[in-house]
Amino acid sequence: MRLSLLLSAVLLCVSSVTAAAPRIAIIIDDIGYQRNDLKMVELPYQLTYAVLPHTPYGKQAAEQAFMLQKDVMLHMPMEATHRNSLGPGALTQEMSKQQVQLTLQQALADIPYAIGINNHMGSLFTALEQPMAWTMEYLQQRQLFFIDSLTTPQSNARRYAKQYNVTILSRHVFLDNEQNQQALEKQFKQLLQIARRHETAIAIGHPYPETYRFLQQRLPQLQAEGIELVGISALLPESHQVIAAGFTEPASYSPEE
């Protein structure tokens, strides 16, 4: 009887160790244009910040997040199908290989704390073949990962990431396509359901005032729900060595490329 109780206790301890809590990562896109974006960075949770290059507050926000030991990504503008305004430093279909890779280099020089990138818009660019191959070739050289925002089902990101051995993950949920409490809660619940089913899940949100207030109220409840919020780096495979862009050497290009 005593042996049976002891065995049960051991099995209970083992199961509690192995049954890790489902983990979610929430990436906040579009950081850099507004001073209020800095408030989002200050939230005391392990959010991940995708920062637009060449923006008024981008470098400051990235440095602030880095100092707070939070994950920083480059939110790389890429051409959209509907010709949306992309802002400075965007990748477009007309660019040569040299132009694509130099534009990436300049963006990472502006946000040297980035450990990976994701696409800002990009419904056209990520569906292209040669430009995505050039993009992944460059990321492989810089040891950076790619998070596909999946702004189009025709994305070629995974295909060329695999070809160039670039670590890639994909967004599961957009939190705030609709900026109201009910819609945000609906998307958040979907995120948690995916995490419980698959152990991990990735959401993308934006620095809207409504999203800020929602996260401020909702994130403290996660622990009681048995969910762990982590930076995106925690969801990468163990084989991926996390290195900030400022600690890797940019590639050099010859004029004929």
pLDDT in tens, the chain (257 residues): 444 444 444 444 444 445 689 999 999 999 999 999 999 999 999 999 999 999 999 999 999 999 999 999 999 999 999 877 788 899 999 999 999 999 999 999 999 999 999 999 999 999 999 999 999 999 999 999 999 999 999 999 999 999 999 999 999 999 999 999 999 999 999 999 999 999 999 999 999 999 999 999 999 999 999 999 999 999 999 999 999 999 988 876 554 44
Q: Are strands 145-148 and 116-121 parallel, antiparallel or unpaired?
A: parallel
SS3 173: strand
CA distances from 93 to 30, 81, 96, 151, 162 (A): 22, 11, 8, 16, 21
DSSP alpha helix (H) spans, the chain: 2-18, 37-42, 58-67, 97-110, 130-142, 157-163, 181-198, 209-218
Single-letter amino acid code for the residue at 63? E
Global pTM value = 0.90
